[in-house]
């Protein structure tokens, strides 16, 4: 027995809570890293504003889904502890502490950093105290023309109880004095802001001494609240917003038609149980107490904000302002030879397979593959999975064209793609109307795999072509997310893709795959086997190395296998963008594990699993290392067997491992630290330089 293997304690209790980080708190740490980009002066100013907005958007979804789920568990007395041993009530208390801290930091950055720097660039958000008489007159006219005809104030009395307010809508609570036309002494009113209006309005150039001057809709309503209540005195008008449970509770077992059932549930998402109340920080306590009571929340769920209650609505600002110097420099993704619009992609794939790394390399070859398939008279059938794509995408248009041309088009549409359900329902209808066969996957198992299979008649025989990816078929996301795409005509791989489609659209037992690992059947089991083999190699004195890159690592069995491998002496590098429940740096348990998170210009989305021993193995996958992905979803992991491709992906992984600019390292106490700030290179910048041809200017250290 080797010295390394002798260190492994067979009596180690890997169920000990001290070995695990709480997933919800880890999620919030990811958002903290996103927020940190908003104050990083190496990013252009408007990009820093975007990071701030993204952190606010992430927080919204965290409350709508994660906090809402925890509050439901408390309500239904489901105090089941996770691997970290924290009770639900403890987790909610810790979440409240951390989120209050993060929200305070968001508004500090907004008010003290972003707003002053925008002003230096000629972009101003005017407070009411800064309006000139001319601006006041224009605003008054705007309110009369655009706002007053749309608003419907609601006085609160026995005939008008507290209204059901839409999730995340902007509202005002108004403190009134006096009697109305009917002699009612109401005291309070609720004023919902029109959802159709922008949350900030640009003033005409002739009224400005800056390039761009904006006024928040909330400021306009505050300034003219008295016109909505003639003859009454407005003592105060305060903005607030209610965040609700937005997770859909669909009984898929009892649903005769999943699409109809899901469509019926979408409306309820807007009026779910309240989970958070945000109010203006100057709102009197007696009014916040009324709001809390009406929505059924406590002080722990109250967030006082020094600014607009929905920072997410600022995402549109960069597109209004034509200041390219305040944005990341543009780049053109490179298209490999043989895959351009003028090339016959089927001929190219007959000669070789292609591995594309988006957004550094173009997503357009995937679109071209479908476009050519739709027009090619020799193509007989197209099969594809769709999770998030957008109804107006070029991919959808190609599928519609193929179906209308009489080709056999089969599309597996995953309706339960969170917050895209309505769009996916519309997509399914469009495809069905065009003549495509649409199926919704398997009950209780989301279809998360990214696959295309094209069947083409060549020389009297049918030949298959496939695409497998780590990301969604959304061309917009392909410019913002890092993902791998694999285009191939390898017969055995295409046969595996065919078998997965057969499972999704038909019935029958699981068939053995030659190359693809797929959840919920073989993926987790084989990953655990590969980890164990790496541990055995380390025990034999070999240089053992595991690299995993994905968005989340929460699955207990995978974490425990990695702990055992670490004990055996395996070097383990984990590049986990978001949640990570594994705790590194535990003596005798995770000494050999390093966990990194890279936050940069692009959202890291690739899923890659590398094992050094035997013949080095590398898989790209649609799945993260989370319970839902490995146990309750249809996922695929495909091998990269070509040695030059494998070496290329390995080198790209090592760029992330050695990133000295944007790489955060997970510490033993569950916090993250920038590993080597301002030393070396940024992985994303290096990949832009290598793969897209962009000059090395994206994120060079100063």
For tokens 């990009």, the residue is 47
User: Could you confirm whether 224 is annotated as catalytic?
Assistant: no
CATH number of 518-692: 3.30.870.10
pLDDT digits (tens, 9 = 90+) for 183-239: 666 789 999 999 889 999 999 999 988 899 999 999 999 999 988 888 889 999 999
Q: 23-41+44-326 has which fold?
A: polyphosphate kinase like (3.30.1840)
pLDDT score at 421: 67
| 3-state percent helix, strand, coil for the chain, nearest multiple of 5 | 40, 20, 40
pLDDT digits (tens, 9 = 90+) for 1-35: 334 434 556 678 999 999 999 999 999 999 999 99
Same fold, 23-41+44-326 and 518-692: no
Taking CA atoms, 644 is separated from 271, 351, 355, 466, 648, in Å, by 53, 16, 11, 20, 6
pLDDT digits (tens, 9 = 90+) for 554-605: 999 999 999 999 999 999 999 999 999 999 999 999 999 999 999 999 999 9
Helix or strand run (H / E) with residue 274: strand 274-280
pTM for this structure? 0.92
**Catalytic option among 448, 474, 518, 545:** 448
Grade residue 79 by pLDDT with cuts at 50, 70 and 90: low
Average pLDDT, the chain: 90
Q: State the Cα–Cα distance between residues 390 and 474, nearest whole angstrom.
A: 7
CATH number of 345-509: 3.30.870.10
pLDDT digits (tens, 9 = 90+) for 628-651: 999 999 999 999 999 999 999 999
Q: State the Cα–Cα distance between residues 552 and 555, nearest whole angstrom.
A: 9
Is residue 682 a contact partner of residue 659, using CB atoms and an 8 Å limit? yes
**Domain assignments of the chain as residue spans, ordered by start:** 23-41+44-326, 345-509, 518-692
Grade residue 697 by pLDDT with cuts at 50, 70 and 90: very low
pLDDT digits (tens, 9 = 90+) for 491-525: 999 999 999 999 998 877 778 999 999 999 999 99
Identify the CA nearest to 618 among candidates 589, 641, 590.
Answer: 641
pLDDT score at 10: 63
Q: State the Cα–Cα distance between residues 91 and 97, nearest whole angstrom.
A: 10
pLDDT score at 80: 66
Q: Give me 144's structure tokens.
A: 């009369």
Grade residue 268 by pLDDT with cuts at 50, 70 and 90: low
**What average pLDDT does this structure show over 399-421?**
84
Q: Kindly compute the dihedral angle of the four CA atoms of residues 356, 361, 367, 372, in this order, to the nearest 10 degrees.
A: -80
Half-sphere exposure of 658 (CA within 13 A, CB side): 9
């Amino acid at each position: 027995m080797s010295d390394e293997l002798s260190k492994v304690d067979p009596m180690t209790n890997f169920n000990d809570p001290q070995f695990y980080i709480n997933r919800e708190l880890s999620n919030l740490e990811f958002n903290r890293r996103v927020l940190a980009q908003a104050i990083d002066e190496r990013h252009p100013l408007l990009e820093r504003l975007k990071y701030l907005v993204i952190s606010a958007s992430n927080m919204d979804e965290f409350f709508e889904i994660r906090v809402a789920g925890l509050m439901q568990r408390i309500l239904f007395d489901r105090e089941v502890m996770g691997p970290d041993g924290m009770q639900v009530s403890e987790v909610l208390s810790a979440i409240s502490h951390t989120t209050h801290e993060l929200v305070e930091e968001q508004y500090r950055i907004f008010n003290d950093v972003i707003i002053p720097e925008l002003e230096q660039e000629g972009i101003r958000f005017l407070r009411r105290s800064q309006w000139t008489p001319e601006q006041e007159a224009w605003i008054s006219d705007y309110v009369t023309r655009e706002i007053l005809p749309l608003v419907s104030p609601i006085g609160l009395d026995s005939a008008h109880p507290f209204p059901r307010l839409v999730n995340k809508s902007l509202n005002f609570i108004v403190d009134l004095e006096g009697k109305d036309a009917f002699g009612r002494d109401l005291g309070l009113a609720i004023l919902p802001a029109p959802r159709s209006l922008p949350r900030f309005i640009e003033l005409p150039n002739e009224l400005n001494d800056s390039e761009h001057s904006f006024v928040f809709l909330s400021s306009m309503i505050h300034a003219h609240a008295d016109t909505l209540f003639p003859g009454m005195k407005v003592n105060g008008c305060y903005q607030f917003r209610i965040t609700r449970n937005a997770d859909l509770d669909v009984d898929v077992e009892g649903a005769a038609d999943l699409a109809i059932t899901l469509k019926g549930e979408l409306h309820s998402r807007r009026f779910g149980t309240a989970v958070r109340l945000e109010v203006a920080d100057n709102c009197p306590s007696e009014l916040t107490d009324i709001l809390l009571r009406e929505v059924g929340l406590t002080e722990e769920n109250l967030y006082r904000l020094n600014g607009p209650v929905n920072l997410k609505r600022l995402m549109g600002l960069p597109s209004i302002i034509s200041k390219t110097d305040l944005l990341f420099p543009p780049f053109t993704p490179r298209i490999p030879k043989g895959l351009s619009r003028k090339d016959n992609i089927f001929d190219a794939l007959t000669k070789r397979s292609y591995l594309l790394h988006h957004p550094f390399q173009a997503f357009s070859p995937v679109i071209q593959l479908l476009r050519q398939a739709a027009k090619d008279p020799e193509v007989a059938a197209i099969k594809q999975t769709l999770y998030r794509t957008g109804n107006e995408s070029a991919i959808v248009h190609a599928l519609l064209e193929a179906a209308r041309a009489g080709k056999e088009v089969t599309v597996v549409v995953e309706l339960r793609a969170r917050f895209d359900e309505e769009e996916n329902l519309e997509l399914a209808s469009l495809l069905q109307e065009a003549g495509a066969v649409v199926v919704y996957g398997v009950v209780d198992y989301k279809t998360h795999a990214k696959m295309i299979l094209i069947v083409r008649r060549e020389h009297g025989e049918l030949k298959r072509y496939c695409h497998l990816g780590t990301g969604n078929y959304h061309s917009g996301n392909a410019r913002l997310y890092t993902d791998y795409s694999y285009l191939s005509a390898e017969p055995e791989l295409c046969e595996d893709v065919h078998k997965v489609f057969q499972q999704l659209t038909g019935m029958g037992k699981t068939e053995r795959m030659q190359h693809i690992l797929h959840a919920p059947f073989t993926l987790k089991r084989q990953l655990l086997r590969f980890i164990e083999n790496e541990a055995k190699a380390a025990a034999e004195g070999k240089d053992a190395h595991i690299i995993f890159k994905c968005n989340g690592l929460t699955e207990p069995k995978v974490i425990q296998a990695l702990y055992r491998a670490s004990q055996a002496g395996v070097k383990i590098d984990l590049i986990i963008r978001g949640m990570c429940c594994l705790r590194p740096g535990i003596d005798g348990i995770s000494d050999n594990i390093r966990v990194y998170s890279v936050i940069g210009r692009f959202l890291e989305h690739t899923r890659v699993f590398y094992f050094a021993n035997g013949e080095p193995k590398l898989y790209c996958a649609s799945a993260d290392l989370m319970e839902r992905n490995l146990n309750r979803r249809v996922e695929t992991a495909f091998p990269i067997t070509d040695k030059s491709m494998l070496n290329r992906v390995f080198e790209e992984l090592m760029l992330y491992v050695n990133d000295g600019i944007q790489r955060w390292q997970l510490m033993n106490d569950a916090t993250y630290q920038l590993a080597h700030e301002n030393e070396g290179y940024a992985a994303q910048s290096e990949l832009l330089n290598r793969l897209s041809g962009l000059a090395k200017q994206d994120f060079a250290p100063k």
